């Protein structure tokens, strides 16, 4: 199991966090996503380390940017 932490810019509310969480959860191998609005932190648990590009694509799909 792997855990990676990312910073996402532009999230300001619960809806923002939900959108980011839902998109990241669609990445193959993801087992959990925790979003903390304060600081824009997103902790992703997965079966194996994820490619940053995959996470960045999911965050972009949600309408935000990976810092």
pLDDT at 58: 98
Measured in whole angstroms, the distance separating CA 64 from the mean position of its chain's CA atoms is 10
DSSP string, the chain: -EEEEEEEES--SHHHHHHHHHHHHTSTTEEEEEEETGGGEEEEEESSPPPHHHHHHHHHHTT-EE-
Tell me the per-residue pLDDT of 56-65, one tens digit each, with 9 for 90 and over.
Answer: 999 999 999 9
pLDDT band at 10 (very low <50, low <70, confident <90, very high): very high
Beta bridge partners of 1: none
Identify the pLDDT of residue 2.
96
Range of the domain at 20: 2-66
Q: What CATH number is associated with residue 59?
A: 3.30.70.100
Provide the domain count of the chain: 1
Residue 19: per-residue pLDDT: 97
């Amino acid at each position: 199991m792997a855990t990676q932490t990312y910073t996402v810019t532009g999230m300001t509310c619960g809806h923002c966090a939900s959108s980011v969480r839902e998109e990241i959860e669609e990445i193959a191998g993801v087992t959990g996503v925790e979003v903390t609005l304060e600081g824009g932190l997103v902790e992703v648990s997965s079966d194996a380390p994820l490619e940053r590009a995959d996470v960045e694509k999911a965050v972009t799909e949600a309408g935000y940017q990976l810092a």
